[in-house]
Amino acid sequence: MTPYIEENKDRFLSELKELLSIPSVSTAPEHKQDVLNCASWLQSHFESIGMENVEILPTEGHPSVYADWLHAGDDKPTVLVYGHYDVQPVDPIELWTNDPFEPTVRDGKIFARGATDDKGQVFLHVKSLETMLKSDGSLPVNVKVLIEGEEEVGSEHLVPLLERHKEKLACDTILISDTAMYSPEVPSLCIGLRGLAYMEVEVTGPNRDLHSGSFGGGIENPANVLCGIIARLKDEYGRVTVPGFYDDVEDASEREKQDIASLPFDEEKYCEANGVGASRGEFGYSVLERLWTRPTLDVNGMWSGFTGVGAKTVLPSKATAKISMRLVPNQNTHDIAKKFEDYIVSIAPKTVKVKVTDLHGGNPALTEPDSAGIQAASVAMEEAYGKRPVLTREGGSIPIVLDFQNILSAPVVLMGFGLQSENLHSPDEHFHLENFYKGIFASTRFFHQMAAQG
């Protein structure tokens, strides 16, 4: 903690309360003006702390707020900080202890919609920039900040905005604080996200629904066939059987494996929380290894024939399933989609027609643990929390991470100060003030580390 942060703690908190009291619910048309007000509030705030070129960037939806400070010198790296100022709706409102837009502190936590997702986390960087600008009169690196207003509605206009302002947003590292630490006791950095290949498989048997009495045993049933195909997509060891599926899978590094093994993980509680008797996935790996470092395959949906109440004796004409594969470095979504399609076609019996469609996909992302951004974030977290952060990954994809990396060609650092337990998207959302202040300090240390490495 720096003296400046100590001295201004109360003001930082009251400013955060001000920001949290603006109901910038991006999904709700009736809050459109509140969203704009929130952008204006940030604009004024950036100006007040000495950030430059402050500007509201319009989109076809809600605008983004931009600010920068670029006087660190050409020999210093440029960091782009990203966050979002829009928030989730508040329903069910009756389950909130306080009004979601009347921020209230209890037990060292601030309760309000957006507290942890993402106003509290984005504002700690704003306060970090202020701390450095006011204490030192400058920033150790060049900094750009982009705070969008549509994250909770799928960042619909972010990609065109990034493309339109590619030069303005050019940077060496992208810093995002919109994720959670592993646990209150375990600060962490997320270095990887799984990719996705999302497919649809449609099996057609007879040219119309048939009576299962008159035709059952004569004509192949496409629902039985589809089940047979899906059953053959994984073996008894939970491994995906699509030929070549594992060809490009890169093993986790030894450091990462050790980090994962060292993490507190109560498998019994995990199963209990999800209502299952045991976890299940690829044999030979722990649950966290499976979720973060191993690819997998899941049926996301399927349907065929009669799905109403009671008994209708139909032999269906069609059966369809949505099947997605989570990918890890260095699998490629197009390559996997092609291998999947080829395999399905090869195992489908000749008595049916099969159609495979690639619905959606994205490549996995992995930041080098030795990259400048991760190194700087690691030191910064250790200085703030007194212990080295562990390297974690996410089992899911965060599409904007890929968008940033693809369009701006810079690596993303996910330095989260939230906690999974902070009710994001739910009533009584909150943010631990300890992490708010530690986050401000960690953020200042991150920029200094980037300068030292630059």
Give the residue among 428, 434, 333, 318 at the shortest CA–CA distance from 385. 434
- 220 counts as binding a second copy under rule CB under 8 A: yes
Task: Write out the two tokens for 79.
Answer: 């960091």
Find the shortest distance in angstroms from Cβ 132 to a second copy: 35
* From 218, 254, 268, 386, residue interacting with a second copy (rule: CB under 8 A): 218
- 298 touching a second copy, by CB under 8 A: yes
What's the one-letter identity of residue 401?
V
- Give residues 154-213 in contact with a second copy (rule: CB under 8 A): 194, 196, 198, 205-208, 210-213
Binding of a second copy by 303 (CB under 8 A): yes
- Total binding residues toward a second copy, as defined by CB under 8 A: 79
Distance of closest approach, residue 302 Cβ to a second copy, in angstroms: 5
Q: How far apart are CA 328 and CA 330, in angstroms?
A: 6
**Residues 36, 153, 302, 407: which binds a second copy (CB under 8 A)?**
302
Bridge partners of residue 318, in order along the sequence: 204
List 88, 173, 177, 221, residue binding a second copy (CB under 8 A): 221
Site residues for a second copy, 375-434, by CB under 8 A, read 394-397
Q: Is the C-alpha dihedral spanning 419, 425, 426, 429 positive or negative? A: positive
Which residue of 107, 167, 185, 307 would you call a contact of a second copy, by CB under 8 A?
307
Closest CB to a second copy among 112 and 325?
325
* Nearest distance in Å: CB 115, a second copy: 22
Least distance to a second copy, CB of residue 340, Å:
14
Site for a second copy (CB under 8 A): which residue of 270, 409, 421, 426?
A: 270
Instruction: Report helix, strand or coil for 147.
Output: strand
Q: 293: exposed, middle or buried (C-beta count within 10 Å: 0-12, 13-18, 19+)? A: buried
Of 279 and 330, the one with the shorter C-beta distance to a second copy is: 279
- Could you say which DSSP state residue 234 is in? B
User: Which amino acid would we find at residue 78?
Assistant: T
Q: Which is nearer to a second copy, 108 or 228 (CB)?
A: 228
246 sits near a second copy (criterion: CB under 8 A): no
Pairing of strands 314-315, 210-211: antiparallel
User: Of the ranges 159-167, 340-348, 349-357, 368-376, which one interacts with a second copy (CB under 8 A)?
Assistant: 349-357
Task: Determine how β-strand 390-394 pairs with β-strand 188-193.
Answer: parallel
- Helices 3-20 and 433-453: crossing angle, nearest 10°? 120
Strands 173-176 and 412-414: parallel
Answer for which of 223, 379, 408, 412 binds a second copy (CB under 8 A) is 223
CB atoms within 10 A of CB 195: 24
